Chain A
Amino acid sequence: MTGLDDPILPTSIAWGLLAAFSVLWVVLGWWLGRRNKTAEDHMLAGRNVGLALATATAMATWVTANTTMTAPQLALQLGVWGMLGYSLGALGLILFAPLARRIRELMPRGFTSGDFIRLRFGTFTWRVFLVVSLIYAFGWLVSMAMAGGVLINALAGIDYRVGMTVILTVCVVYTLLGGLRAVIGTDFIQTIIIIGGAAFIAWLTIDKVGFEAIHFNLMEERPELLNLLFPAAIMFLFNNLLFGVGEIFHSNVWWSRAFAFGRNVGFRAYLFGGLLWLPIPIVAGFIALATPALGINVPAADMVGPLVAAEVLGLTGAIVVFIVVFAALASSLDSLLAATSDLVTRDIYRGHIRPQASEQHQFHATKVIVVLLGLLTWLAASYRGEIPIVGSLAELLYFTGAFVASAIWPIVAGLYWQKANPQGAAWSMILGSGIGLASYFLIGFYVAALVGAAVSLAVMVLTTWLMPRPFDWGRLARSDAEVPA
């Protein structure tokens, strides 16, 4: 029996793996970014990323530590629907495919999602959007830094703060050195590692435990996990669908890629990325269903994946999980650091503080902001468990659900409805986030995104129907490089 008190990987091996992969990512980041000369090179990798790298970066960024840890956790808590519901997160990538094409057509020289909201809806909505977007980005950053510390501690007994600091520092350094080119290049290798490792663990779990033993023991001990009419799980399924769509539609992580991928690449990259991502939460989550058959005591739900892997595969399993999780963490942390620093540079620094900042000035500013973001994330993640709201990873993740889901309809309306009302877009985010958050506390984490999206849709439709505001699409292409007012 395995528990959190017994590290499953010798500390010396863990430090060796950490050192080897840290050096690999940093050297690769430096090498890929050595030709970056302007803010555009650094932020958008030259705007001509090909299909292979584009598909891999879409997948790698969407496979986070939350996928590798929360998918098993949700399978353990919500059963079959937990892992299937998580896999519906792929729809966010698939549905973003046509949006990516539209974004590239409307704003061929755009930089951030904030640029679009500012030009499409004006200053007030832009500021509301920045608040929503930055709350989400910071929540995601902190949740991944926490996941890094928790996993390294549980797998190898390395102190939580030390592990979290190492992984965060490595990501900050190579993102700083290579910008988006480094992020996308490392993402390709990380995707291969993550998916190959997850599939390897799943095949061995099937081989060593077997479906019959898994099914029989679940029926004996946790029959609700096999119930297809588990109400909370079905609610979770729809909530997760909207959460995933909201995360992708609004976040600059995905918009910056839409601007960076070559012409005609974005649509196919997001479509392929989504289709290939779909099975990953099932592969990662399924192994949690083996806990009753293995007789594993799970002291913390978000540690179930690594515990099962180590129980089934011993030292090899622990090593594979460690490498997979390190790759998953790095692939998302780097993307988020790069995209959030771009958003802060363009929309906060250039947009609000120094409107006349030159390209070169922004190039330097984005690097300083990456370091500051890393420091802020480190501070917040250092106090895991000491801030009442920051409980388990899933709770932290779904806390941001109300914010992101409330941004779905303003984005869709902004891209496709010529008469979308700008004030309506702002109020749909404000009311959607507020009422969604209330439902998070009053009902449960699994409804926040659902309620946020529903309220946001109602406000957007109602305001546009009552007060339509015609918009000239050509304005986006003409003025996407202009200095904000």
Chain B
Amino acid sequence: MTISITALSVIVVIATSVATLTPILLLALFIRDWKKGCLW
């Protein structure tokens, strides 16, 4: 049973999109913690 091009591309594109958004999410969390004074 071979994985199709569509299935392969969907998995990889979703994974890469999430990875692209992750740094933005972490920076937003950092700014939120910093403003609330709870970084450490």
Is the Cβ of A53 less than 8 Å from the Cβ of B33? Answer: yes
A-B pairs, top 10 by smallest CB distance, nearest first, are A279-B15, A52-B29, A282-B15, A52-B30, A50-B33, A199-B19, A211-B9, A192-B23, A199-B20, A50-B38
Q: Could you show 26 A-B contacts with beta carbons less than 8 Å apart?
A: A45-B40, A50-B39, A52-B26, A52-B30, A52-B39, A55-B26, A80-B3, A181-B40, A191-B22, A191-B23, A192-B23, A195-B23, A198-B19, A202-B12, A203-B20, A206-B12, A206-B13, A211-B12, A212-B5, A223-B2, A227-B2, A228-B2, A278-B15, A278-B18, A279-B19, A282-B12
CB within 8 Å of A: which B1-15 residues: 1-3, 5, 8-9, 11-15
Cα distance A212–B5 in the bound complex, in angstroms = 7
Is the Cβ of A55 less than 8 Å from the Cβ of B29? Answer: yes
**Chain A residues whose C-beta falls within 8 Å of the C-beta of B33 in the assembled complex:** 50-53
Is the Cβ of B40 less than 8 Å from the Cβ of A276? Answer: no
Number of A-B contacts (CB under 8 A): 99
Residue A56 lies at the interface, judged by CB distance under 8 Å to chain B: yes
Cα distance A211–B40 in the bound complex, in angstroms = 44
**Chain B residues whose C-beta falls within 8 Å of the C-beta of A87 in the assembled complex:** 15
Cα distance A282–B8 in the bound complex, in angstroms = 11
Residue A283 lies at the interface, judged by CB distance under 8 Å to chain B: yes
Cα distance A188–B26 in the bound complex, in angstroms = 8
Residue A145 lies at the interface, judged by CB distance under 8 Å to chain B: no
What interface size band does chain B fall in? Answer: 20 to 34
Is the Cβ of B40 less than 8 Å from the Cβ of A215? Answer: no
**Chain A residues whose C-beta falls within 8 Å of the C-beta of B39 in the assembled complex:** 50, 52-53
What interface size band does chain A fall in? Answer: 35 or more
Candidates A50, A196, A219; contact of B23 at CB < 8 Å: A196
Q: Of all chain B residues, which has the CB nearest A47?
A: B40
Residue A226 lies at the interface, judged by CB distance under 8 Å to chain B: yes
**Chain A residues whose C-beta falls within 8 Å of the C-beta of B8 in the assembled complex:** 80, 211, 214-215, 226
Beyond known contacts A50-B39, A53-B40, A199-B20: 14 more, CB 8 A cutoff: A52-B30, A52-B32, A87-B15, A188-B26, A191-B23, A192-B23, A196-B23, A203-B20, A206-B16, A215-B5, A226-B8, A227-B1, A276-B18, A283-B16
Q: Tell me whether A192 and B26 are in contact in the complex, defined as CB-CB below 8 angstroms, given that A202-B12, A279-B16, A283-B16 are known contacts.
A: yes
Is the Cβ of B26 less than 8 Å from the Cβ of A48? Answer: no
Is the Cβ of B40 less than 8 Å from the Cβ of A50? Answer: yes
**Chain B residues whose C-beta falls within 8 Å of the C-beta of A46 in the assembled complex:** 40
Smallest distance from the beta carbon of B7 to chain A beta carbons, Å?
Answer: 9
**Chain B residues whose C-beta falls within 8 Å of the C-beta of A276 in the assembled complex:** 18, 22, 25
Smallest distance from the beta carbon of B24 to chain A beta carbons, Å?
Answer: 9
**Chain A residues whose C-beta falls within 8 Å of the C-beta of B27 in the assembled complex:** 192
Cα distance A286–B1 in the bound complex, in angstroms = 19
Interface centre among A196, A199, A206, A227 (most CB of B within 10 A): A199
Cα distance A55–B11 in the bound complex, in angstroms = 24
